[in-house]
Structure formats: C-alpha cells, structure tokens
Structure 1
C-alpha cells in the first residue's frame, strides 16, 4: 500500500510517502530560523509558514518518491495534539487530497507517531508488552502497550516537558532556541558537578520539571551576581542538567519494570536525539534487565516528521484490515 502522510502539528511542514513501512520520501521544511528570534514557536507565524511551504514540500515529496498521485492508496495526517491553527492546515490539505484522489483519510495522533518512529526502517518488530515514552519539547509521557495501538497512559509531565526545560535553560544562558542541541554541545565539555533536584520522584509515574528549571535559573542568576558565570561553570551546569534529566527518566522506567512485565522499551520525540540520555537509559537496561530491547528512532526521525505519521497509519490500516 502507498501512504501519503502530512505533519503540521507545530513548526515543521512535513510530507512523507511510504510503501507499507518503507519510506520513499520524507520532506520537511523547518521554521527554526524564522522562530528563533522569538525564543519559541509563534502559532500565527507557524501557520503562515505552513501555507507558504506546503506546495513545494508536497511537490518534492512526490518527486523524490517517484510515485504518481493516482498510485496513492491512503492519506494520513496529524489530528492532535499540537497547535490548533497549525493542525487545521494539515487537516484541510489532507481532506482536499483525499477528496481529489478519492482515497481514504486516516487521522493520527502526533504522540503515537513519535513512538512508532522507532520502527521506521527497522528490520525488527517490537516484542510486547512495550514501555514507550515520548520525550519532546511539548510532551513527556510514559505509555504501556500490550499490543499494537493499545496505549495505556501511565504518567505525564504535570508542568514543563523535558524539551521545554532545555529550551528555557538555553535562553537563561543567553543561547538560542531550540535548546536541546545547545545544552548537549555544552555538556560535552563539562562535568556533572552541580547538584540539582530530582523532582517528582514519588509513587506515581508522573513527571515535573518546572522545579528543576527554576533551580537551574537560580544558579545562573547567582553566578551572574557573583560575576562567576564562566565558560566552565556553564558547561558543568549543562552536563549536570543532562545527567539529572537522565536520572529522572530512568527512575520512572525502573519503577515500571518493578510493577509491570516489559519486553521492549521504545522512545520517541526530539529529545531522543540527545545521545547522553539514550546512552544512559541503554546502560540501565543492560545492567538491570534481561533480554529487553531498546528501540530508538534514527536521528532524522526524532524531531517532528511525516514519516512517523505514515508508519503509524500503516499499523492502523493493518489493524482495521485484520478486524474485518
């Protein structure tokens, strides 16, 4: 089957074409340079740029895939969650294409797409049950799946997401948005020397990162007052922040292993591009569990993209066909 997928939940205009699970094209127009000056995503600007970029992205996706429009079997799009004004643009384009081509329309959940991104271009399948986590700029959530598409939400952030925490700390330090790559680069030259609070380590699976963000901000402000915000201190603070975030994530994963049967861990979202975090979790799984496979998306599929929506749609279609 040929699936055309559209992703416009935030500031990436993306269209992918898949043949079953194989990615034939995945074209994304990023708005990072336009949004950077505002320190985050401005919804109205994002919507305008989606409209501006959509036609050329669609044309390039079709060209790269070498698929004629009439060969497309399904149109998939991100329905939720995301910026409403941006989601609406993707929905209207998808509905228009589905009507024009007379093809079925598949609505998809953005967060589920991030999780299924770990199966893109993978030769292996998940072994159930699966513990899955979305770690991104807007979300930090933990799910349990006994079978495909059977999502049980175990916990989520009660305030800031991990990515938002990284973005804000980057801005506090005088760097740019997005903050994840900035903090990761600084941390490579630093050491874990700054004690930071391990927030929300209680009996639930929920997360909280606002307290950690505030603690880092106070350290930065104090160092500035002392005229001691040196390059070394900045690097060490970035390294300590990364380490603390990794410990919090691993704490929740360990809690899940203590309470549930788990055969696979699947991670998705922009922050999964951070190698320190994923290496930390991988090391935990190797040391503390037996025969548990960690599934990670390729780096190009960590941030928002339409290929993840396409593969999610593939599994939704397969499930519907099996039910019939």
Structure 2
C-alpha cells in the first residue's frame, strides 16, 4: 500500500483479557484487517481465564498477530497514521503486553500513540458500522463477561454513566451458570444455543430488586437461584455426562449437547436466559426514556446472544444497533475505530502510558 492514496490508517492492538488482536482500519470505518488469536483452548480446561497464562500467550502471539494484520491489509508501518492500544480496563499483565509492543513500534517508527478505553471500543464497534444512521443522544449498553454498563452517548462521543452492575456482569453470570451445570467455559454461547429447546417460563427465577439507582444491575441473586435449583435435584449423573462430552469433543455440537441435557435442565437454561434478557431490556427502556434517546447501541460479547438480538429488535421502540458478531467479542478493529476521533483531535499518549486495570469511561 506504500505510495497508494488512502485515508488515515490506524493499527489497533487489543490485549485486555484472553484475545490477542490487531487490526488496520481506514478513516475509522473501513476494516482492512481484523486478526484475533483466541486463548479459549488454553483457559477452557481451568473453567475461566488464568491471568498468568493469558500474559504468556499474549507474549507468544503479539508479533505474529500484528504482522498478519498488516499483511492482510496490504500495509506497512510507513503507511500508518497512528497506533492505537487498549490501556484498560482489563488484566494488568495482559494489557502490558499490548501497550509495550505499541510503544516500541511507535518509538521505532516515529508514530503517534493513542490510548483507548476498552469499553469505548465496544461502543465504536457499533458506531463504525452504523455510521450516519446512529442518532444522538444514544443509549449504549456494553454487556460482556466483565462489563454490564449503561451510558448516555452524546454527539462527539461524550459519555455519561447511567448504571452498572453491582456484582456479576451478565456475561459472567452466563458463564458461572454454565460451569455449575457442567457446560464448560465459556458457557454463554452454549446456553444461547440450548435455550430455544427449553420452555423460557418453565422455571420461575427471580428478577432483581434494586435499592438506590434503579438503572444499576444485579445478577448475583439470579445466579444463586440457579444454584439452589441445582442443589434441589439429583443432577450429578447428567453433569458428569456433559463433562465427559467435553473431554471427548472440545466444542460439542448442539445435537451432542441435547443428548446429555434433559428437558428439565433445558427449561432452566431457557428461563435463566429469559430473565437476563428481560432485565437488560427493562433497563434499556427506562434509561432511554430518561435521556430521550434517539437510538440504542448494544455491544460486548453478550451482544452475540441471538435471544437478546431477537428480543431487542421486537421489544424496543427505538432503532437498535448491534455490531457484527465478529466485532461483538474483543477485537482490535474497535480499538482502531475509537482512536480515529482522537487522531483528529491529536489526543496522543506519551511513552509513560501504563496499564489501568480499573479504568472507567465516565
């Protein structure tokens, strides 16, 4: 691409948790490459992300992932206008790998360094695709394994936090319930696949009752209710059957899961998912009304959930924007997209940039 006419190219780097990702995005919109190295097989056997292992895997993957992203984009470092990197929130050791690599590349190539909040990246995963159709003020729900946050998004991508989870994130609740019932990690996608085979009103699980900010979330009570439901039944044999299936097939098919998941358990999964989705939609509706939202953004890993996508499309009275599935989970294209407005404002970081595990957006 060197010498060819093109708009500003930003190399995005994301390493906040257990995916090593790099992407090249033109003008904050056109994705030229989007490479993700997953650590799912590394952490799956432990039932969750092991921070030290995540850092080691990032160290192994960062160089080849960036090289592949540049190669797929047909770009070289001299073509870049800037390098954007996630500074937080996330696992400190994981963040440091991406930040250190980005600093080194910028230092050697004389490129500007742009620090990006991971949560803002998820919002831009939607904005980069929605374009002019996204009207402000917008209501954004960022919902994943680590986040369940509601933001007011105003013109120029200015943010105000409206509500957040007080305990488990929605995606975390999905994964913990799946692990409890022997579906392995990550379990959210498995619940989503099996929920259509159960009765969403077959088990009465509770909705949260919040004191204080009514726009805050809580999923710990729901998770505890599933635990109690499990303890009241003799599920040992079927849970062991599912664990055995996982030992035989790393990623079982829906048909395989159905052979080891009786109807009663499928009803529980469907009912659990229904309560989570209704909680999310209830909060979206209330928050959108409060701020006079003209559109709704739903992003983050849980935005992949097909039940949520269908329910939001039919239940919400406003235009609702979801990212493509490939941009819902952690990726670097969203980091590069979020950096584009900062490039125009020349909001550059210096080489003292540090990892911020608990970085907030608003």
TM-score normalised per structure 1: 0.93
Q: Are residue 305 (structure 1) and residue 331 (structure 2) matched? A: yes
Which residue of the other structure, out of 185, 191, 214, is the alignment partner of 1:183? 191
Q: Are residue 94 (structure 1) and residue 102 (structure 2) matched? A: yes
State how far apart, in whole Å, the 2-side matches of 1:28 and 1:56 are.
Answer: 11
Give the SS at the match of 1:188: helix
Contact 2:19/2:331 (CA < 8 Å) preserved in 1? yes
State how far apart, in whole Å, the 2-side matches of 1:307 and 1:167 are.
Answer: 25
CA spacing shift, 1:41–1:225, aligned 2, 3 Å: closer
State how far apart, in whole Å, the 2-side matches of 1:121 and 1:262 are.
Answer: 19
Matching residue of 1:218: 228
State how far apart, in whole Å, the 2-side matches of 1:200 and 1:152 are.
Answer: 23
Which residue of the other structure, out of 303, 307, 315, is the alignment partner of 1:272? 303
State how far apart, in whole Å, the 1-side matches of 2:332 and 2:143 are.
Answer: 17
CA spacing shift, 1:125–1:96, aligned 2, 3 Å: farther
State how far apart, in whole Å, the 2-side matches of 1:245 and 1:15 are.
Answer: 32
Which residue of the other structure, out of 207, 230, 235, is the alignment partner of 1:198? 207
Tell me the CA shift for residue 278 of structure 1: 1.9
Which residue of the other structure, out of 59, 75, 81, is the alignment partner of 2:83? 75
**Matched residue count:** 316
Tell me the CA shift for residue 148 of structure 1: 2.5
1:122-167: CA deviation from partner (whole Å, max 9, x where unpaired): 4544210010011100110000012232110001000000011000
Which residue of the other structure, out of 250, 258, 282, is the alignment partner of 1:251? 282
Q: Are residue 12 (structure 1) and residue 19 (structure 2) matched? A: yes
5+ residue gaps in structure 2? 1-7, 240-260, 348-362
Tell me the CA shift for residue 301 of structure 1: 0.5
Map 1:1-324 to 2 at 5 A: 1-20=8-27, 21-192=29-200, 193-201=202-210, 204-224=214-234, 231-285=262-316, 289=317, 292-320=318-346
Tell me the CA shift for residue 119 of structure 1: 2.4
Tell me the CA shift for residue 113 of structure 1: 0.5
Give the SS at the match of 2:93: helix
State how far apart, in whole Å, the 2-side matches of 1:223 and 1:312 are.
Answer: 48
Tell me the CA shift for residue 120 of structure 1: 3.2
Tell me the CA shift for residue 101 of structure 1: 1.1
Tell me the CA shift for residue 234 of structure 1: 1.3
1:275-295: CA deviation from partner (whole Å, max 9, x where unpaired): 11121122111xxx3xx3211
CA spacing shift, 1:91–1:227, aligned 2, 3 Å: closer
Bigger mean CA deviation after superposition, 224-233 or 270-279: 224-233
Contact 1:6/1:90 (CA < 8 Å) preserved in 2? yes
Contact 2:141/2:284 (CA < 8 Å) preserved in 1? no
Contact 2:82/2:343 (CA < 8 Å) preserved in 1? no
State how far apart, in whole Å, the 2-side matches of 1:254 and 1:68 are.
Answer: 45
RMSD value, Cα: 1.7
Contact 1:200/1:206 (CA < 8 Å) preserved in 2? no
Matching residue of 2:3: none
Give the SS at the match of 2:197: coil
